[in-house]
Chains A and B, each alone.
Chain A
Amino acid sequence: MGRVLVRQVLFLLGLAFLPAIGQALYYRGTASWQQRPVDSAAVSVEEAKNWGGAVLWVDARAEEPFAKAHVPGALRLDEDGWDTLLPSVLAAWSPERKVVVYCSRETCNASHAVAERLRHEVQLKNIYVLQGGWEEWENKK
């Protein structure tokens, strides 16, 4: 029984390779294989500060850290409270404003997820992710 199970597992693992190799060949010219593509929509703290009042700050962290401190004027928007929080962001948004989303630190993903949804679901333009997040903002104060 053990040998048959191992043969089945190997067969299935091998079977999945065929379409995967085909797809990898299809993407070979477009996918980045060695390092993560640079996020062209990332912005540094200094650059975002230079934009002044043209920035709509969006805080993608949880309620508790937001309540403790946040970028002045920032509005909270995370994936858990998306439907409830989005209307206030849209009310503050205008086409000429740049939206800068941040989360806790460089390694967090919430800002990327929120920025992506704002771009693709809400179809907003000029969406940026703050490099280094809140941690970097605090360092550059």
Chain B
Amino acid sequence: MTALPRSKILERILAIIVGAVFIYAGFLKARDPVHFASDISNYQMVPWSVGVRFAFYLPWLELVCGFALVLHRFFSGALAITIALLLAFLGATAWARIHGIDVSCGCFGSAGTNLTLAWHLAILAGLLLASIYLWCTRERVRFA
């Protein structure tokens, strides 16, 4: 068995951290999709009928991507979706702020109510930076 080089160990640890956060966030939101639908609706970007459908789908997408990152399977695909989701979350928060809409992020379901918006943004930005680093250093992709 060959040992992983140090840079690869760092990448694995980062992938596990990002994946674990996505699993945690996805699990919290999947437990209460109607509450998450309200969080989406508060952003006033999409009508309720669209937001509620997102609310039932996005948590599972986060869970699937989180597990893929932790288990290092379908890695590039999971990473691409993760980066897209993080950009969407950051963009939505910025959009709400620009339009003067007073929202709580909703990123971590009911557990996120103890976090200020600044903390939410810091966590999202940290995850995005880690994901971009993983994207730049990832190996060539095979299907699985």
> Do B74 and A107 have beta carbons less than 8 Å apart?
no
Range class of the A interface residue count: 35 or more
Q: A4-B142, A23-B33 are in contact. Are A104 and B64 (CB under 8 A)?
A: no
* B116, A79: Cβ atoms closer than 8 Å: yes
Total cross-chain contacts (CB, 8 A):
103
CB distance from A7 to the nearest CB of B (A): 6
- In contact, B33 and A31 (Cβ under 8 angstroms): yes
Do the beta carbons of A108 and B102 come within 8 Å of each other?
yes
Q: Which residues of B contact A110 (CB under 8 A)?
A: 102, 104
Q: State the Cβ distance, B123 to closest chain A Cβ, in Å.
A: 16
B residues engaging A (CB < 8 A)? 30, 33-34, 37-38, 41-42, 44, 48-49, 52-53, 56-57, 59-61, 63-65, 68, 74, 76-78, 80-81, 101-104, 113-114, 116, 140-143
Q: Are B104 and A19 in contact (CB under 8 A)?
A: no
Which secondary structure dominates where chain A touches chain B? helix
Inter-subunit contact B102/A104 (CB<8 Å): yes
Closest to B142 in A: A4
Taking the complex as formed, is A24 at the interface, i.e. its CB lies under 8 A from any CB of chain B?
Answer: yes
Whether A94 is near chain B, meaning CB under 8 Å from some CB there, is no
In the complex, per-residue mask of A6-21: 1 if CB is within 8 Å of any chain B CB, else 0: 0111011101110110
Residue of B nearest to A27 (CB): B33
Verify B57–A20 contact, CB threshold 8 A: yes
